[in-house]
Amino acid sequence: MSTKPFKFKEFTVQQDRCAMKIGTDGVLLGAWTSLKGNPFSVLDIGAGTGLIALMLAQRSNAELIDAIEIDDDAYEQCVGNFETSSWGDRLFCYHAGFDEFVEEIEDKYDLIISNPPFYTEDFTSHDNQREKARSNFSLPFEDLLKGVSLLLSSSGVFSIIIPYKEEVSFLELASKNNLFPNRVLRVKGNPTSEVKRSLIELSFLESDCNYEELIIEKERHKYTTDYIELTKDFYLKM
């Protein structure tokens, strides 16, 4: 995995101290998340490098963009990435676990976003930091959804990316916390591959859910028009 700084069009992300490097998942979520409600306050759960918070700072006029990161090295790197960006005055990272954050924070957020740690398959690694970042056990979906339901404003939106195979069970858990899907984007690597990821936007409002599909590549290293359109404000080569 590359430890080099990752340069985007309007900011650079240092990632040498983070277990989870810049990947397609984070970029997809940061680009796809709806800003229709013009959120005043945003929360990024499990910020890692700070990528998604930085993308939302670029895309939105939100005055308050908070992030939470429990890992010491990732937290320090996230703070550094925030400070060197053009939006340092709007970005703040808390060094905390999600459970303690939920207990202490009384504010509500208009937009909550998370690229949560999960095992992609039966994933094993000899890197404990990466293992912790990847392992769903450090923040089970039940705890995540319960916390989000307490922190989200009544008209707010929660946006997340998860493995497609978890979609049904995740939505069942969400409904128990009165969170319902409004938009779902299912992502495939190429036209013939299986759906790998689900991006889900939830709110307290039950509505007809809008389901869409995104294919990333037509063929190796040839990106689809949809993927370019979604990410062109960020990737240098788009």
- State residue 139's pLDDT score: 82
Query: 78 pLDDT exceeds 90?
Result: yes
- The residue-averaged pLDDT of 6-30 equals 94
Longest dimension (CA), the chain: 48
Angle at 129 between CA 43 and CA 105, to 5 degrees: 25
What distance in Å separates the CA atoms of residue 219 and residue 146, rounded to the nearest whole number?
Answer: 40
Q: Tell which wins on pLDDT, 74 or 130.
A: 74
- State residue 64's pLDDT score: 97
* Cα–Cα nearest to 202, from 137, 141, 138, 122: 141
Of 1-15, 60-74, 163-177, 201-215, the one with minimum mean pLDDT is 1-15
Q: Answer yes or no: are the C-beta atoms of 21 and 15 closer than 8 Å.
A: yes
Query: 137 pLDDT exceeds 50?
Result: no
Query: 84 pLDDT exceeds 90?
Result: yes
- State residue 129's pLDDT score: 62
Unique residue bearing structure tokens 């997809």: 28
Residue 188 has φ and ψ, to the nearest 5°, of: -120, 145
Query: 106 pLDDT exceeds 50?
Result: yes
How many C-beta atoms lie closer than 10 Å to residue 183's C-beta?
19
How sure is the predictor about 138, in pLDDT bands with cuts at 50, 70 and 90?
low
Query: 121 pLDDT exceeds 60?
Result: no
Average pLDDT, the chain: 92
> Token pair for residue 213?
């599909």
> Token pair for residue 153?
């404003």
How sure is the predictor about 226, in pLDDT bands with cuts at 50, 70 and 90?
very high
Query: 120 pLDDT exceeds 50?
Result: no
